[in-house]
Structure 1
Amino acid sequence: FPVGDTQKVLSEAIKDSVPVADIFYAFSALKNLGLQVDNAKVTSALTEALKKDDSPQSAGYGFFVASQLTGDTKKIFDSIEDVVAQADEVDDKYLQFEGGLYTTALVVDGAYKLAAKEKKAPTMSDDKVVKFANYFLSRKHVHQLRAAYQLVSVIKTLTDNQFHIPVAITLASPVAVTSSSPNVKVQVTNLLGGSIGSLTVTADSAKHISSEAIVLSKKPFTSKDSSTYELNFMQAKPVRGFYKIIISAKPSKEDKKLLGLTGAEVEVKVTTQVSIENVEIGVADKDQTTAARTTKVQYPGKASTVFEADYHQKIIVKFQLKDKADGTKMSAHQTFLKLTNQKTNQEIIFVADAASNKFDLDIGSSAGQFGHLSGKYSMELIIGDAVIENPFSWALGEVNLNFPEGQTPKDKGLDRYAKKPEIKHLFREPEKRPAAVVSTVFTFLVLAPVLILVLLWMKIGVNVSNFPMSLSAVGFHLCLAAIFGLYYLYWVELNMFQTVRYLGLLALPTFIFGNRLLSGIASKRKGEKKV
C-alpha cells in the first residue's frame, strides 16, 4: 500500500465493533510504522471493546494499547486487580490463566507496562507476583513463537521495573549429595540470572521428606561469587533419602522491590554406598520336608557348584544390604533376580521381597515363564535405588532346571516375537462324487417328464401359431435356453464364481428381450379387446 492508504486502512480498523485483538494489532502497526494515531478514537474504541469482552487475553491486549496512549487510561488500569483475580492457582505455587503461557505472560507484561505509564504499582499482591514468576520459570519448553517472545518480554519486564523484582533461588549443584560431594549450591538472581547484589543466604530448615525429620536449621550459606552460595550439607550427618531445604535471603541493603526472598524450596537427595552381606543360595523342596541346602557366596565371587532343581523344588536366595555410612540394614527399591538360559539366551526376571531381601522362587509354578525349557541357567542379582551410589549386577552362579519332558516346547517356540508362519486360505476339498450309476439314474428321472411331454405333444399335436416370430421373442427364448445350459455346466464343470460371472452376462439381454416380449403381448391383447 502507499503510505496514505496504509494509514487509512489501519485507522479504519480501529472501532468499537471489532475484537480487542484487532485494535491491538492495528494500533501496534501504526506505532511501529511511525504513522499518526488518533488517541481519543483508540481510547473510546478500546473501552467499548473491553466492555464486550473481559477475558484475560483481551485485557492483556488492552493493557498494552493503554500503556502507549496519551489519554486517560485510569479506568483500564483499575481493572488489573479484577483480571488478576481470574488466574488459576496450581499446587499453591503457580498462577496462570486459562489461555496458557501466552495469555499469562501477555496480561502480566501488559499490566506492568501500563503501571509504568500510570506511575503506580499494579494492584497485584507480592504473593501473586511470586507465583506468576514461578510459573514463567517452570516453562522449560515453549511450542509457539509468539509465546516464546512474550515469555522473554515478561521476564525482562519483571527483571527491570519500578515496582516488583521477583527473586529466583535455584539449585546450582547436582541433586545428589554424597560424602565426596557434600556441598549444596544455590543461585540467588533475578529472573534473567543477573546478580541482585550482596546477600545473606540462610538454610532455614532441611526436612527429610519421608520421615519429616529436621536435620538442620538456620545454617548460613557461604558466598562463592555475587550470585552463588554454598552449604556443606553433609556436616549435618543426614541419612540417605530426599530432603527439602527451605532457603531465605536478606540483602545487605534493604530493597522493598525484591520479592520471594523467603520460603524458597530446593530438593536434594543424600545418596550412599551399600554393601551386600550374608548371601546364601540354595534349593529346597516345596513342601519343606527337607532342609534347604544353601551355599554362601561372597561378593563379587560366584558359586563354584552348579545347583540342581526340578519342578518339585524352589530356589532360595537370601542376602542383606547395609549402608556403608552407618552400617544399618536397608532395602532397595529395585531388587531383581535374572535367570538366563545359556542355550537360548532367554531371560526371566523375578522381583525380590523388598522387606526381607529374599527370593523364594517356586520352579513348578513358574514353569510357564521358563517355557518348560530344561537346561542350565545363569543367575544374576540386580540391585539399584535412587539413593544408592553403587548399583550393581552380580553373577551369582548357575542352576540346572529340570521340567517334565512332555511339556518341553520346540526351541523356536520359545521366542514369542519370532516370525509366525504365513496363513494361507484354502478352499475345502470337494466331496467325492457318487457312483456313475446313481447319477445316470437320477438324470433319467429328471429328464423323464420332458420325454413324456414330447410324447404327449406328438399324440395330441402342438399349436405354435401364437408364437410371435419377433427378435425379442427369439432372443428371450435363446437367452433362457442359455441360462439352463449354464446351470448344466455348473453342475458338471464350472464353480460358483464362474457361473455367477456368466449368469451376470446373460441376465441383461434376457431382461431386455423379456421386457419387450411381454410388452408386445400385452399390446396385442389390448388391441384385440378393442376390436
Structure 2
Amino acid sequence: MEVAIQNQQGDTTETFTEAYPKSALSEYKLSFTTSMKVSFNVSTKSSKVPIAPQQAFVLLTSKATGSVAYFVAHGTPELLMASVGTSDLHVQTGGQGGIFNVDILIGDPSAAGGVLWNLGTVDVFQALTSSGAGSGGYLPPRYLHKPSKKIEIEHIHRIPDKRPAPIIPVVFTGMVMLPLGALLTALVGLRLNVKGFPSGAGSVWATLFHTGIAAVLVLYIVFWLQLNLLRIIPALAVLSLFCIITGHKALSAVMAMRLKKD
C-alpha cells in the first residue's frame, strides 16, 4: 500500500508505504492545497495473486463527530487507486476539519465480513464557517463546491400607458373606411359599358389587362391579410409590368378600332 501526498499541480511531495495491517499515517496535516492518493492491491492468502474486489473504498471518519466520507477506488487488480481531495472531503462532511481516521474497506465474497485496514490519521484543515470561524485553517470558497441559495429575482414591470376611450378608435376606423365605402358605392352605381371593348386580337389583350388589374386587387387583399411589404413588392412589380404591356396593346387595339370607324 502506498499513500502519496500531492500538491495542486499534481506533483507528489511525500510518499508513505506500508504493508497490511500496519498504519502509515500519524496525524499528517492536509491543507486545501494538497490531496492524498491511496494505491493498493488485494490478493488472497492462498494464491497471492491480485484480484479485483467487488467493492473497494477509502474511508475518512471524523474522530470528533463520526462523520464518514467515502472515496471509491478504481483501477486494475494489480493497482487500485483512490484520490482524496480536501474539497471533496468537506463537501461530504459539511466542512468539518480536525483528526480523521483513514481506512481501506474491501468487500468481496472471498473475504467473509470484508476487510477494514486502518492506515492511520490525518489532520484536515477545517472550512471557514458562515460566521467566519474555522479551527485549523481557512479553505477558500472555490474549494468547497457547495451550492448556495440563489437570490430570488423580482421583476418590476412598467406601468402600462393610459389608453384612450374605446369610442375613439371606432371613430377613426370609421373615418378611414368612409372613402372605401364611397368608392364601393360609386362602383355599384356604375353600369358595365362594353361598347368600347375591342374585338378580335384586341379583345385578348383587353381581357389580359383586366385580369392583371384583378390580380393586383387580389394581391392587395393578400397583403392586408398575411404578406409584408418586402414580399409583395416583387409580385407587384411583375403584375405592374404585365398590366403595362397588356394595357398598351389593348389601348392600341381600341384606337385602331376607332380609326376604322372614322
TM value normalised by structure 1: 0.23
TM value normalised by structure 2: 0.45
